[in-house]
Structure 1
């Protein structure tokens, strides 16, 4: 409980910082989510209308959704050129803050990002996607969105692990590897005659907020984040930040 309280205090302190930077982060977030949501809606809306089992929608959702857990700040944009995540860790290590609190703060930040970015992303997809509004009532669409956000939680644990334990350049290459793996999974699912996107639509339409895959994805996402957090804390003890 103390860890959660301390991490929440740190997160609140971030929001009380430079108001201009916070405004800039919000503007970048809105622009980026409009771009991702608009592009995804155009593709997914056609796939939903034609019931086409193409791999493109699976690839878009598998690769885009985990990004909703990121904060699109200057630090995240400069991770490759300035190794900003490592510099942040160096700074935090100079303070009497336990690693568990640092990780808890990052998880809370991720939850806030998923809520904000997820609302923008899925809101835009629904508003622009006529076939989404035709196929899914609002509760069913919420179930669809939460199902994919649960998947985002699963992968976000891995992103946090990479973020805290690797340099900026390694982070870039590992992120690209995740994108390649997303493509590979999409290809294999399509090769087997399936489609994750249409499957999630079907379950959400049939079950609504009682969808078993929605609750299952949230459960697996929570477990994934916790396991990766414990692993990250363990590995942080031996990471050389010099």
Structure 2
């Protein structure tokens, strides 16, 4: 079985296996909108404070990438049972190459993330516009593409730790990343006085049409590098759960 055919088979298998569990991702999208829409509207109309600024950035930077991860039993048990290690150990004894596993996981991630972001940003646009914000469709599409590029890039890093390491290492790597994001967002709000979310939108409004293109280029590079790094990690890691 060829690389792409095998990878697509794995991706379809995992997507079909998740099935109705994907609804939990949509519920999480609704939960995220509940917080981000009022925050974003306040930021856009200039009625925000420093705490709201960093909180908005923190929610975006932290939660948008994880919309690509379906909430299922494997995810919920990775700490206690090291479920990802067990799953990869099973796959490794099948006639499936490490490269097919890496590419298939990224394809699955991309499909789920794209669908979740499509729902999230369409609803966000409708809700923010209904609250009085003046946003053009073209600008918002570019803005959504920019954040999709960011999210997929970071999500691929998550996948590297997810299937390339034990559950405990994956957990602590996530904690470190979240702590770094907290520091970055607080520092940005303190010294800049604004938000990364609003800054990206205003930059695109002011003619920086190249921002989403750069985000997609970085995203493509992350996919290429990610497949290679994940493949190498799967070849060298321990599968003792």
TM-score by length of 2: 0.89
Q: Does 1:49 align with 2:48?
A: no
Contact 1:69-1:111 within 8 A present in 2 as well? yes
Q: Does 1:28 align with 2:24?
A: yes
Counterpart in the other structure of 2:223: 225
Shift of 1:124: 2.7
CA RMSD across the alignment = 2.1
Shift of 1:155: 0.8
Once the two structures are superposed, the pairs formed by residues 74-153 of structure 1 within 5 Å of their partners are 74-130=73-129, 134-153=133-152
Counterpart in the other structure of 1:241: 239
Task: Say if 1:132 and 1:225 are closer, same or farther in 2 by CA, change over 3 A.
Answer: farther
Q: Which structure 1 residue ranges, 5 or more long, are not aligned?
A: none
Q: Which structure 2 residue ranges, 5 or more long, are not aligned?
A: none
Contact 1:55-1:190 within 8 A present in 2 as well? yes
Contact 1:34-1:120 within 8 A present in 2 as well? no
Distance 2:133 2:186 in 1: 28
Counterpart in the other structure of 2:178: 179
| Structure 1: 4+ residue segments shifted above 3 A | 14-17, 130-133
Shift of 1:132: 7.5
Counterpart in the other structure of 2:6: 6
Q: Does 1:169 align with 2:151?
A: no
Shift of 1:46: 1.2
Contact 1:153-1:222 within 8 A present in 2 as well? no
Task: Say if 1:133 and 1:8 are closer, same or farther in 2 by CA, change over 3 A.
Answer: farther
Distance 2:173 2:123 in 1: 29
Please give the secondary structure, in 1, of the residue aligned with 2:206: helix
Contact 2:41-2:133 within 8 A present in 1 as well? no
Shift of 1:133: 6.4
Distance 1:29 1:123 in 2: 16
Please give the secondary structure, in 2, of the residue aligned with 1:134: coil
Contact 1:165-1:235 within 8 A present in 2 as well? yes
TM-score by length of 1: 0.89
Task: Say if 1:133 and 1:178 are closer, same or farther in 2 by CA, change over 3 A.
Answer: farther
Deviates more, 1:91-100 or 1:189-198: 189-198
Shift of 1:69: 2.0
Task: Say if 1:229 and 1:183 are closer, same or farther in 2 by CA, change over 3 A.
Answer: same
Contact 2:15-2:108 within 8 A present in 1 as well? no
Contact 1:45-1:131 within 8 A present in 2 as well? no
Shift of 1:45: 1.5
Contact 1:140-1:205 within 8 A present in 2 as well? yes
Shift of 1:225: 2.9
